[in-house]
């Protein structure tokens, strides 16, 4: 007896009793073909996760019925896209890719307003737009929408589900992929399931992790990391009305779902496919590291979390294969990469690159980024990094202590330094930022602030210093140059293209006051846009510089599907990598992370560049390399040395 034949037997039985009459002839054929292809893995994965559940067959049967129902509801337009994407699975590796993340309300008021922004997006070159969670969520504090009250209902303040579908179509016509959040670790405490649980319905109490007293929560708490220690100590919240404790990894109003219950998996698959059928191209798997809990562990990145994500992926492949998963694992780099696979998450945030870019700016040294990325940047060639400098969240220093120790750096002390550097507690720092979720027990802390403010523009403007302004602009462009060229989808955070500064208005809003991340969530208003379009302003210089690099990226295949080799430059202040495309194009990117002039021994470059004549794509000037002299880089200078092949 082997697993394949077991899964086949199981599928045959299920199909004998499943009504597929809602599928037309072609769909019926496609559906069966995809089941043939993906059901065996789905079966294995769920059998592994739910080994003790004797009613698993029932759940599989219900699951197949729900996959069929969702497939029958998928629009023809989307089915066509499924075919296209199956024929071109590496679409996300193209040099044309450029992403942005934004809040609907902060960018454009509502979904209709966002429609009117499409020309702005296309003009910037965007091909990927991540809309921060736009579902119905609790009034007041909703963790920026990450507490979802109803996955099938758009937040009425932003529009309707119909508006979202119209937008998805319009974005698609404009060549922009829509990315939506799939917030599946928890629901809001006013989700219908949570309300039923609270009303005493045992079936729905089993959707969450509820406990009658502190005994089990205490045992779990002993090994858990606290994510929001300033909200509450420990990971459980007390519900006085029903005298129970509920698992809440994040805020008290975000109840973790109980994936130990197969009914929860099924219910969430249904919600996921509803989102896929709205017409999105990617789902961002929010807080995916936390979905499985094992007593005695930190309850992050557990093997069964991976199995479940793969199982979700199988369901997606059967119903909506145009859609890819993006992993949001802001965890240790060893764990981040484990989510990346064509069968799990095809895309992943790159929190290590992000943290190390900021580390390099603070220290003006590139040893740690070079050391870490030289063995950590490479991933499955069918997958892509999503490289970012800032996002809506805080910055956590997720580098590996071993990589640091290798260079004689003590990880713990170094993180303390970085927190001080970026929160105004380090003399001579250029950065203006705020601390986030300081843990009184271990001193752990994260950093908030906008790209421009953390890179020095806010301080430079306050001091009215042209020299400091110039340095800040260079730092901003330097960080962007790396995400635009190192390999993967570059993801801008709305407002950063306009060099917007910290926004302190959250401090007068009682629902936001306690959450410093709002300092880096500004409203993209007319004055900000006007500043960036007014020649002579620093915002303009940033905007123009960024656009030039974007244009260069889009022109050459070497920025797309190409290999990346991290190089050792022999200079501790410079970071360099070589990119090579199959068509022979090469790009040697070199940047100076320090405010002083630096030299690189040109010998090192000799073997990398097949010819002396190259073009620096940053200024489009041809360059004849003289390998007998060192290459000189000015403060924060970036070179994109391009060889056409
Ligand atoms: C993710 C989101 C963050 C949110 C958390 C809980 O990390 O990016 O904003 O607070 O998940 O949903
Ligand atoms: C995420 C991360 C954590 C991050 C937080 C959002 O899931 O694991 O490091 O800071 O949620 O603030």
Query: In this predicted model, what pLDDT tens digit does every residue of 309-327 receive, in sequence order?
Result: 999 999 999 999 999 999 9
Query: In this predicted model, what pLDDT tens digit does every residue of 531-580 receive, in sequence order?
Result: 999 999 999 999 999 999 999 999 999 999 999 999 999 999 999 999 99
Query: In this predicted model, what pLDDT tens digit does every residue of 504-538 receive, in sequence order?
Result: 999 999 999 999 999 999 999 999 999 999 999 99
User: What b/e sequence results for 103-127 when a residue is b if at least 16 CB atoms lie within 10 Å of its CB, and e otherwise?
Assistant: bbbbbbbbbeebbebbeebeeebbb
User: What b/e sequence results for 63-101 when a residue is b if at least 16 CB atoms lie within 10 Å of its CB, and e otherwise?
Assistant: bbbbbbbbbbebeeebbebbeebeeeeebbbbbebbbbb
Please, which pLDDT band fits residue 371 given cuts at 50, 70 and 90? very high
- Which atom number of ligand 1 is nearest to the Cα of residue 517? 9
- Out of 181, 281, 328, 503, the active site residue is 328
φ, ψ (nearest 5 deg) of residue 167? -65, -45
- Which atom number of ligand 2 is nearest to the Cα of residue 287? 7
Mutate to test the pocket of ligand 1, among 130, 250, 289, 291 (most ligand atoms within 8 A of CB): 250
DSSP of 15-48: HHT---TTS-HHHHHHHHHHHHHHHHHHHHHHHH
- Out of 95, 143, 190, 286, the active site residue is 286
Mutate to test the pocket of ligand 1, among 291, 393, 398, 520 (most ligand atoms within 8 A of CB): 393
**Maximum pairwise Cα distance, the chain:** 79
Please, which pLDDT band fits residue 197 given cuts at 50, 70 and 90? very high
Ligand 1 centroid, distance to 146 Cα (angstroms): 6
Give the ligand whose atoms come closest to the C-alpha of residue 185.
1
Residue 203 has, within 13 A of its CA and on its CB side, a CA count of 5
- 328 classed as catalytic: yes
Which value, in Å, is the radius of gyration of the alpha carbons in the chain?
25
Query: In this predicted model, what pLDDT tens digit does every residue of 128-161 receive, in sequence order?
Result: 999 999 999 999 999 999 999 999 999 999 999 9
Percent of the chain exceeding pLDDT 90 equals 94
Look-up: residue for tokens 């990971």?
A: 235
Going by CA atoms, what residue is nearest to atom 7 of ligand 2? 287
- Which atom number of ligand 2 is nearest to the Cα of residue 250? 11
Q: Which two tokens stand for residue 531?
A: 């500043």
Residue 260 has, within 13 A of its CA and on its CB side, a CA count of 13
More confident residue, 400 or 425: 400
Going by CA atoms, what residue is nearest to atom 11 of ligand 1? 287
Name the H helices within 455-537: 457-462, 466-485, 526-532
Residue 250's SS3 state is coil
Give the ligand whose atoms come closest to the C-alpha of residue 186.
1
Measured in whole angstroms, the distance separating CA 498 from the mean position of its chain's CA atoms is 21
Mutate to test the pocket of ligand 2, among 393, 395, 434 (most ligand atoms within 8 A of CB): 393
Q: Are strands 586-592 and 638-643 parallel, antiparallel or unpaired?
A: antiparallel
Partners of 567 in beta bridges:
576
Any ligand 2 atom below 6 A from CB of 394: yes
Q: Which two tokens stand for residue 253?
A: 């109003």
Q: Which helix (H) or strand (E) holds 324?
A: strand 324-327
How far apart CA 54 and CA 57 sit, in angstroms, is 8
How far apart CA 202 and CA 322 sit, in angstroms, is 37
More confident residue, 207 or 645: 207
Residue 476, pLDDT > 60, answer yes
Any ligand 2 atom below 6 A from CB of 396: yes
Within 489-529, strands assigned E span 489-493
Is residue 475 within 8 A of residue 456, CB to CB? The reply is: yes
Mutate to test the pocket of ligand 2, among 396, 439, 520 (most ligand atoms within 8 A of CB): 396
Ligand 2 centroid, distance to 515 Cα (angstroms): 13
Any ligand 2 atom below 6 A from CB of 174: no
Look-up: residue for tokens 């089915």?
A: 79
Name the H helices within 190-297: 192-198, 202-205, 215-221, 262-277
- 441 classed as catalytic: no
**For 257-281, what is the mean pLDDT?**
98
Distances (CA, A) of 37 to 32, 85, 227, 640: 9, 17, 39, 44
Going by CA atoms, what residue is nearest to atom 9 of ligand 2? 330
How far apart CA 251 and CA 496 sit, in angstroms, is 27
Residue 484, pLDDT > 70, answer yes
The pLDDT score that the predictor gives to residue 4 is 60
The pLDDT score that the predictor gives to residue 5 is 84
Residue 403's SS3 state is helix
Ligand 1 pocket (Cβ < 6 Å) reads 143-144, 146, 183, 250, 286-287, 328, 393
Q: 424, exposed or middle or buried, with CB in 10 Å at 0-12, 13-18, 19+?
A: middle
Distances (CA, A) of 1 to 16, 38, 49, 129: 22, 20, 20, 47
How far apart CA 586 and CA 172 sit, in angstroms, is 31
Any ligand 2 atom below 6 A from CB of 329: no
Residue 81, pLDDT > 70, answer yes
Distances (CA, A) of 207 to 24, 185, 192, 197, 564: 35, 11, 11, 8, 44
- Provide the sign of the torsion angle of the four alpha carbons 609, 610, 613, 618, taken in this order: negative
**For 361-371, what is the mean pLDDT?**
98
Residue 3, pLDDT > 70, answer no
Is residue 453 within 8 A of residue 502, CB to CB? The reply is: yes
Average pLDDT over the chain, rounded to whole? Answer: 96
Partners of 566 in beta bridges:
577
Ligand 2 centroid, distance to 330 Cα (angstroms): 6
User: What b/e sequence results for 386-418 when a residue is b if at least 16 CB atoms lie within 10 Å of its CB, and e otherwise?
Assistant: bbbbbbbbbbbbbbbeebbeeeebeeeebbbbb
- Which atom number of ligand 2 is nearest to the Cα of residue 328? 7
The pLDDT score that the predictor gives to residue 610 is 81
How far apart CA 611 and CA 27 sit, in angstroms, is 54
pTM: 0.97
The pLDDT score that the predictor gives to residue 605 is 85
- Which atom number of ligand 2 is nearest to the Cα of residue 398? 9
Residue 193, pLDDT > 90, answer yes
The pLDDT score that the predictor gives to residue 231 is 83
Return all residues near 587 (Cβ < 8 A) that are at least 6 apart. Answer: 485, 556, 558, 559, 562, 578, 579, 617, 640, 641, 642, 643
How far apart CA 523 and CA 122 sit, in angstroms, is 20
């Amino acid at each position: 007896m082997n697993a394949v034949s077991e899964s086949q037997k199981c599928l045959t039985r299920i199909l004998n009793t499943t009504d597929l009459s809602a599928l037309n002839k072609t769909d019926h054929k496609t559906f069966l073909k995809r089941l043939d292809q993906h059901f065996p893995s789905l079966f294995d994965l769920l059998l592994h996760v739910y080994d003790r559940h004797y009613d698993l067959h029932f759940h599989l049967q219900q699951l197949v019925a729900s996959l069929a129902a969702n497939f029958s509801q998928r629009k023809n337009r989307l089915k066509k896209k499924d075919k296209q994407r199956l024929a071109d699975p590496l679409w996300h590796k193209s040099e044309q890719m450029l992403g942005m993340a934004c809040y609907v309300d902060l960018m454009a008021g509502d979904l209709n307003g966002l429609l009117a922004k499409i020309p702005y997006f296309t003009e910037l070159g965007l091909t990927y737009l991540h809309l921060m969670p736009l579902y119905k969520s609790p009034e007041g504090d909703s963790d920026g929408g990450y507490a979802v009250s109803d996955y099938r209902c758009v937040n009425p303040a932003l529009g309707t589900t119909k508006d979202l579908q119209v937008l998805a179509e319009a974005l698609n016509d404009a060549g922009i992929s829509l990315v939506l959040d799939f917030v599946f670790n928890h629901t809001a405490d006013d989700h219908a399931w949570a309300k039923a649980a609270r009303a005493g319905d045992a079936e729905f109490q089993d959707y969450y992790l509820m406990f009658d007293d502190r005994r089990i929560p205490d045992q779990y708490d002993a090994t858990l990391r606290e994510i929001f220690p300033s909200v509450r100590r420990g990971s459980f919240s007390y519900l006085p009305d029903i005298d129970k404790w509920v698992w809440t990894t994040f805020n008290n109003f975000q109840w973790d779902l109980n994936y130990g219950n197969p009914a929860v998996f099924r219910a969430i698959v249904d919600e996921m496919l509803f989102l896929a059928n709205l017409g999105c191209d990617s789902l961002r798997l929010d807080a995916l590291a936390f979905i499985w809990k094992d007593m005695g562990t930190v309850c992050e990145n557990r093997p069964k979390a991976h199995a479940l994500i793969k199982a979700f992926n199988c369901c997606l492949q059967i119903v909506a294969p145009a859609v890819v998963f993006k992993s949001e694992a802001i965890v240790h780099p060893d764990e981040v990469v484990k989510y990346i696979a064509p069968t799990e998450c095809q895309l992943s945030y790159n929190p290590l690159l992000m943290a190390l870019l900021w580390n390099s700016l603070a220290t003006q040294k590139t040893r740690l980024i070079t050391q870490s990325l030289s063995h950590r940047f490479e991933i499955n060639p069918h997958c892509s990094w999503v490289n970012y400098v800032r996002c809506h969240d805080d910055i956590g220093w997720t580098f590996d202590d071993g990589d640091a120790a290798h260079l004689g750096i003590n990880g713990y002390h170094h993180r303390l330094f970085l927190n001080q550097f970026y929160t105004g507690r380090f003399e001579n720092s250029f950065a203006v930022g705020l601390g986030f979720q300081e843990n009184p027990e271990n001193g752990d802390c994260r950093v908030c602030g906008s790209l421009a403010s953390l890179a020095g523009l806010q301080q430079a403007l306050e001091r009215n210093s042209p020299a400091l302004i110039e340095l800040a602009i260079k730092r901003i462009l330097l960080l962007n140059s790396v995400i635009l060229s190192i390999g993967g989808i570059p993801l801008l955070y709305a407002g950063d293209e306009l060099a917007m500064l910290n926004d302190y208005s959250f401090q007068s809003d009682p629902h936001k006051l306690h959450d410093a991340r709002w300092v880096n969530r500004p409203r993209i208003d007319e004055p900000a846009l006007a500043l960036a379009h007014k020649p002579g302003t620093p915002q303009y210089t940033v905007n123009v510089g960024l656009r030039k690099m974007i244009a260069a990226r889009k022109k050459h295949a070497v920025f797309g599907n190409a290999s990346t080799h991290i190089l050792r430059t022999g200079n501790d202040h410079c970071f360099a990598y070589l990119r090579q495309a199959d068509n022979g194009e090469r790009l040697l990117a070199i940047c100076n992370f320090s405010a002083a002039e630096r030299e690189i021994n040109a010998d090192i470059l000799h073997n990398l560049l097949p010819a002396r004549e190259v073009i620096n794509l940053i200024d489009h000037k041809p360059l004849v390399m003289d390998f007998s002299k060192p290459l000189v880089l000015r403060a924060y200078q970036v070179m994109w040395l391009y060889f056409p092949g």
